[in-house]
Chain A
Amino acid sequence: ETGVTQSPTHLIKTRGQQVTLRCSSQSGHNTVSWYQQALGQGPQFIFQYYREEENGRGNFPPRFSGLQFPNYSSELNVNALELDDSALYLCASSGDSTYNEQFFGPGTRLTVL
C-alpha cells in the first residue's frame, strides 16, 4: 500500500505567477483534502474533493482551485500568486471512514518572491 505523495517538494515563484501542485492519494482513497500551513501555524483547510467533485471549501479566495482525477490523483492551482501564499501545502487523502481519518503527504514548500 503506497502512501500519499506530493510533487514538487519545493517551488519558488514570483508574485503574479500561477502554480500547480500535485498529489497522489493513498491507494483506495476517494477523498482528497488540501491544507495550507503558514510558518509557525497549524494547517488551514483549503478544500476537499470527493469523487472528482468539490465537497467543501474553507475561507480561501477563488484563485485557489483544484481538480481530482478518476485515478484519485489531484491538483491544487493557485493563480495570481501573492507573497502571503508562501507556505507548506499539504495534501491528505481519506477513504470511506466515518471518522475522517486523513493521511497526509510530505507537502510542497512554496516560496513566493
Chain B
Amino acid sequence: AQSVTQLGSHVSVSEGALVLLRCNYSSSVPPYLFWYVQYPNQGLQLLLKYTSAATLVKGINGFEAEFKKSETSFHLTKPSAHMSDAAEYFCAVSAPTGGGNKLTFGTGTQLKVEL
C-alpha cells in the first residue's frame, strides 16, 4: 500500500528565508507524487507533480521538489519565502484503487511566514 509521511505539522520561517517542507513516501510500485497547497477555507491547488520524467520538478509560485528514490523522499522547497506562501501544504501519492487511482495524502504541514 502507498502512503506518505509529512514531518513537521507546523513550520515557521522568516520572509525571504528558505522554505523546506518534508515528505517521505512508501510505495510498492514507482510512485506518482504530488504537492498541493490549501489556503484557508479553500480547496486544494496543485503545486507540482513527479511523474518519473525528471527528478527535479518545478512548480508554480517558485516551488520545486526533488524526488530521491534512495531516501524515498519528495521534499518541497522554495528559496525565498513570501508572506503569501502562508498556507497548508499536502504531499500525496497516487495509488491504484479498483480500476482507477486515488490520492493518498499526508497529514499536512502548516507554513507560517513571519516578517
Contact = CB atoms under 8 A, between A and B. Distances in A.
Interface string A18-49: 00000000000001010100001111110010
Contact of B100 (A35, A43, A48): A48
Contacts of B96: 56
Contacts of A45: 97, 102-104
Nearest to A53: B99
Contacts of A106: 42-43
Interface string B102-115: 11111110000000
B44 A43 contact: yes
Contacts, number: 77
A72 interface: no
Interface residues of B, number: 27
B102 A56 contact: yes
Nearest to A107: B43
B90 interface: yes
Interface string B23-38: 0000000001010100
B70 interface: no
B98 A56 contact: yes
24 contacts: A31-B100, A41-B108, A42-B90, A42-B105, A42-B106, A42-B108, A43-B44, A43-B90, A45-B103, A55-B97, A55-B98, A55-B100, A56-B98, A56-B99, A56-B100, A58-B97, A98-B51, A99-B51, A99-B94, A100-B32, A100-B100, A101-B34, A104-B43, A105-B43
